[in-house]
Structure 1
Amino acid sequence: MRASWVTALGLAGLLCAGGASGQEITIGVTMGTTGPGASLGINYKNAFQLMPNAIDGVPIKYVILEDGSDPTAAAKNARQLVAENHVDALMGAVSVPSTTQIALIAEETKTPLIALAPVALPPEKLGWVFIVPQPVPLMMGAVVDDLKSKSIKTVGYIGFSDSWGDLVLKALKQSADPAGIKIVDEERYARADTAVTGQIVKILIAKPDAVVVGGSGTGGALPQIALRDRGYKGPVYHNHGTINREFIKVGGAAVDGAIAPTGPLMVAEELPDSHPVKKVAVDFDQAYEKIFGAGSRNAFAGYSYDGFLLLKAAIPAALKAGKPGTPEFRQALRDALESGQAVVGVHGVYTQTKSDHIGLDGRAVVLAVVDGGAWRLLKK
């Protein structure tokens, strides 16, 4: 049975869902299904159709607000969800800038946040923030391992001119420097840009053995298209922000051969049966594709679903400490989320603790390659 959930466009159109007052868990969600992050946000939102309408016998409601992929709107939505909807937890958003803004509000209001994108804040400001996506250093470390295995010595970098581009570049350097891999050129572009010709020319002049792209969604395809248009034949690596079929639709033949780190769900059937995530990931992929069509699986819907699984595991303990809608429940929910309980998701096994609000390890990353118009497991 699907969740009882509410969608609001902007600040209007909010509908009321059922449930007994004080006995209904309310999760407030902000995400952009329009704007530059739409190709991600639509997938994030789709996953809520797979979520049940109760946890531990208590009704659960999702209030989902549209933020147009804008960080300011995301922050405004988060404040509304806390102040007016009295949510027990927040979830969102589609980008690092937006999620970082929500994280600040979660800390201020002492509301648990299930972050669906990485957060550009130091650990001491993440006391109420639990991050679902794999840490960028883990993912880019897998990229550098593959570069090293192919004896690649130099790379060019082109990424978004925002906090996501910063995170990918920092993580790339963190792993590349010890591996003896030199970054010979660094370029940036805006999420809304439609051309990167100047940046690509500079990268080509530097003659790197490979190129690493720090973009996400459909915008992540732009540099690779430009590289292939100008005859670059070297390998092009991306990051886990590009793993959906929209990236392939936009890039077409130009992104064939693109390599990116991702969670196990994208290639679940190709994993060995011994992989701890395989069964959960295969079941999710089958359920998702039954609704949205063959090949519709994507990493972003998986992040939403893993966020739900984290809440599902934590809520029973929180219900013993207080009623939904109270500060006691929110505090207990936070405590349960960081209790060290192992939660098997579609992206990995989460073991979140007081000192680690991500809780993922190497089981959360595989390398995938675009092959014949689909993401496939990269064979070593």
Structure 2
Amino acid sequence: MPSKKMLSALILASAMAAPLASADIKVGVVTSSTGPIALVGIPQKNTVALLPDRMGGEKVTYISLDDGSDPTATVKAFKKLIDEEHVDAIIGPSGSGNAMGVIQFAAESGTPMLAPVGTAAVVLPMTEEKKWVFKTTQNDDLIAAALVDQMKATGIKTIGLIGTADPYGENWSKVMTELTAKAGISIVANEHFQRQDTSITGQSLKVLMASPDAVLIAAPGSSSVMPQTTLKEQGYQGKIYQTHGAALDPFLRLGGKAVEGTILAASLMLVLDEVPDSPSKTIATQYVNDYSKIFGSAPATFGGNVYDAGLLLKNAVPTALEKGKPGTPEFRAALREALENTHELAATQGVYNLTPADHSGFDERGRELITVKGGKWALLD
């Protein structure tokens, strides 16, 4: 029969082992729910309430931080989540530039990062660091290809570009330069501006002087509005295209009549009532309904990017648990590998097929050609 000393030791050992055996999966979330990117970050922060509370039979704890749209604050938030909270994965941040600045910390710590940002630069070109990043939005080339095809089909020969002077606008400039050259479309003006700018009169005048058949504005969130309203105020009569960065209802409210007739390619979430039934439509409809019940209004598509991150993790966790326990490097490495092998996972934005070379994984099921008609989103005829 064991002595009291042995029993005490056994009880102590059991108490120490129990938390490890039943350790929660910890997921950090960094969003820009305040500051210039807030129109993107608010629905993302709100969506945390709808993320899975269990994955692979294990409880999930979410630690949500706001970076105020400040890249320096993003770095601090990431370091806190990695060094102090010891999270198993991080969803975020909201901004493209913010995300580019923290990739190294995700890689150094071996922590999978699910980035709900616009620029494809977070995953392309693939590197040893970027293999820890998974992008829950459509890559720029997938969206751009739909726009360029539409331009070519409608006889557009020249275009002007106005984009943000950051990774989002810069990558769009690169992608459009490549695709338009192949389509026989000339870029006759290429201007950039800062998101915090209060006027872009100079840039828009340069575009107007080039007399393009159409203009593409490559800017995320609220920054997508001012270039278009400025062009309209200055009398521009040609077609105006936007990227999926403008795919939110405040774009309609802020732009008013100036954004009528805008063409963009974005996820089916904008036009759920018009698209055919599909697994993605079912999931997106459920997400929108659940979000609306809690917050009183429908979410922007950017919120769906965080919701999809939760679905990707939920799909990958059971496989990762076979190789390690939450809170360990083995689990994080196995989680990264499982995410990289995601196959035909339907979500709010489309269907994910991830590979070592493609950490976004969307195909044509992840986009729709959409226009603004009567102040509302509508499928382009």
| TM-score, structure 1 as length reference | 0.91
Quote how far apart the aligned CAs of 1:287 are: 2.1
Residue 191 in structure 1 maps to residue 195 in structure 2: yes
Question: Cα–Cα, structure 1 residues 246 and 363, in superposed 2: closer, same or farther, change >3 Å?
Answer: same
Higher RCO (C-alpha under 8 Å, 6+ residues apart): 2
Residue 123 in structure 1 maps to residue 126 in structure 2: yes
Q: Which amino acid aligns with 1:270?
A: E
Residue 261 in structure 1 maps to residue 262 in structure 2: no
Distance 2:30 2:279 in 1: 31
Superposition misfits of 4+ residues, deviation over 3 angstroms = 19-22
Deviations 1:181-231 (A, max 9, x none): 101001111000111111111111110100000111111000110011111
Residue 348 in structure 1 maps to residue 350 in structure 2: yes
Distance 1:146 1:293 in 2: 36
Q: Which amino acid aligns with 2:334?
A: A
Deviations 1:41-79 (A, max 9, x none): 001112112223222321111111111111121112111
Identity %: 41
The alignment of Structure 1 onto Structure 2 pairs a total of residues equal to 359
Quote how far apart the aligned CAs of 1:313 are: 0.2
Output the aligned Cα RMSD.
1.6
Quote how far apart the aligned CAs of 1:289 are: 2.6
Deviations 1:218-268 (A, max 9, x none): 110001100111111211101011111111221122111111111112212
Q: Is the 8 A contact 1:103 1:119 kept in 2?
A: no
Q: In the alignment, which residue of structure 2 is the partner of 1:301? A: 303
Q: Which amino acid aligns with 2:232?
A: R
Distance 1:242 1:75 in 2: 26
Q: Is the 8 A contact 1:260 1:369 kept in 2?
A: yes
Distance 1:209 1:299 in 2: 29
Q: Which amino acid aligns with 1:234?
A: G
Moved more, 162-171 or 275-284: 275-284
Deviations 1:71-130 (A, max 9, x none): 121112111100000000011111111111222211111111111113535301311111
Higher helix proportion: 2
Distance 2:292 2:217 in 1: 28
Question: Cα–Cα, structure 1 residues 310 and 340, in superposed 2: closer, same or farther, change >3 Å?
Answer: closer
The correspondence for 1:206, drawn from 207, 210, 217, is: 210
Which is higher, the Rg of structure 1 or of structure 2?
2
Deviations 1:256-303 (A, max 9, x none): 111111111221221122x44222222222222333335x33210110
Q: Which amino acid aligns with 2:284?
A: A
Distance 2:106 2:133 in 1: 7
SS in 2 for 1:269: coil
SS in 1 for 2:121: coil
| TM-score, structure 2 as length reference | 0.91
Q: In the alignment, which residue of structure 2 is the partner of 1:11? A: none
Q: In the alignment, which residue of structure 2 is the partner of 1:284? A: 287
Q: Is the 8 A contact 1:266 1:297 kept in 2?
A: no
Q: In the alignment, which residue of structure 1 is the partner of 2:11? A: none
Q: Is the 8 A contact 2:27 2:63 kept in 1?
A: yes
Q: In the alignment, which residue of structure 2 is the partner of 1:139? A: 143
Any residues of structure 2 matched to 1:149-160 within 5 Å, and which? 149-160=153-164
Residue 168 in structure 1 maps to residue 172 in structure 2: yes
SS in 2 for 1:272: coil
Distance 2:199 2:50 in 1: 37
Distance 2:169 2:243 in 1: 10
Distance 1:45 1:375 in 2: 24
Distance 1:35 1:110 in 2: 29
Q: Is the 8 A contact 1:137 1:174 kept in 2?
A: no
The correspondence for 1:336, drawn from 335, 338, 354, is: 338
